[in-house]
Amino acid sequence: MQTTFKVSRFNPETDEKSQVMTYSVTLAEGATVLDGLKAIREEHDAGLAFRANCERGSCGDCALRVNKKGVLGCTTLIAAVAGKDGVVTVEPIRNVPVLKDLVYDMEAFLWRKLRAVSPGISARTPASAEEHPVAEEAMAKVRAAMSCVMCGLCDEGCTVIAVDENFVGPAALTKAYRAIFDPRDGRQPERLRAISEPTGMWDCAHCFEANGHCPLGIEPTDRIFEMRDEAIRQGIRSGTKNPKVRRHYDSFVNSVKRSGWLDEGRLAIESEGLLNVPGLLHLLPTAARAMKRGKAPLPYFHRRRPGADAIQRIVEKAEGRKE
């Protein structure tokens, strides 16, 4: 099978930006993208830098962007990704600082975020010589998250990291989930509070890109939702440094309860805080632009919609269940 690879190359010692190099290689039927990169290194350029380890989709090391899609190079068949012209483009995944060719800085991309969520289990029971077996059903909730290989492909697709590299991201939050819902862990409220701080789980924009990018079907966006629900259930509506999340949550719920729908203008004001003058001033340019386009509803002049009584009862019922 003759395949043309267009590979992104970057040498920090000589290049200001990456350039695309073209290689033609002959591969066996059933060859993977990683097989192609190895063939290029053996036959064309021994200096091509890329990462790989287990070669069976278990370590996440060979995450790459192939024909504009984030994949694991070792489990991706060339036949499945090559365009009609037989060309395979290979680049580093997005949202990463590239060190050389296809190798990127995992510390900056992922490891610092992973440490921030303290992914190790803190045993609920004190250490002892006795075993503390856990029933299989008690682990069911975290089984999928346990299979995360930290490939970072959910972070590569994350639309928030694309604009804020400090967002902790779906990969680290998946590890947080695994600890938070592990029946052996004894730090659940503390962990939920920690990921409720700025750049934590409340910064997720629920675009569901992470779900679409995870090669293992872990659905990181859904895991983030579950942690948010649990935090709300426990009355943890924000961390210590971002009361804005709690204000946003309270304003949202009160608005729907009061009128049956969302008072968006009021939500923006109350999320900032009524006494937060700099925050309110910060809203003005956005409000002016929205007004110009006829999209700025007048806050506090919000009519009650038909059926609001029923909606109010639903919200109150949900609140009652929460407590």
- What is the binding site for ligand SF4 (CB under 6 A)? 60, 148-154, 170-171, 174, 213-214, 216, 218, 220
In whole angstroms, the minimum distance from the beta carbon of 275 to ligand SF4 comes to: 40
| Dist. CA 290–CA 181, nearest whole Å | 42
Closer by beta carbon to ligand SF4, 223 or else 248: 223
Q: Report the residue number, 98 or 218, with the smaller CB distance to ligand SF4.
A: 218
For ligand SF4, give the closer residue by CB, 164 or 316: 164
Rounded CA-CA distance 177/148 in Å is 11
User: Closer to ligand SF4 at the Cβ: 140 or 318?
Assistant: 140
- For the bound state, the minimum distance from the C-beta of residue 151 to ligand SF4, rounded and expressed in Å, comes to 4
Closer Cβ to ligand SF4, 178 or 266, answer by number: 178
Least distance between ligand SF4 and beta carbon 216 (Å): 5
Q: Which residue number, 7 or 218, has a Cβ lying nearer to ligand SF4?
A: 218
Q: C-beta of 234: minimal distance to ligand SF4 in Å?
A: 24
In the complex, minimum distance from the CB of residue 72 to ligand SF4, in angstroms, rounded to a whole number: 9
Cβ atoms within 10 A of the Cβ of 86, count? 13
Q: In angstroms, what is the minimal distance from the CB of 102 to ligand SF4? A: 17
| Shortest distance, position 136 Cβ to ligand SF4, whole Å | 22
Looking at the Cβ atoms of 154 and 160, the one nearer to ligand SF4 is 154
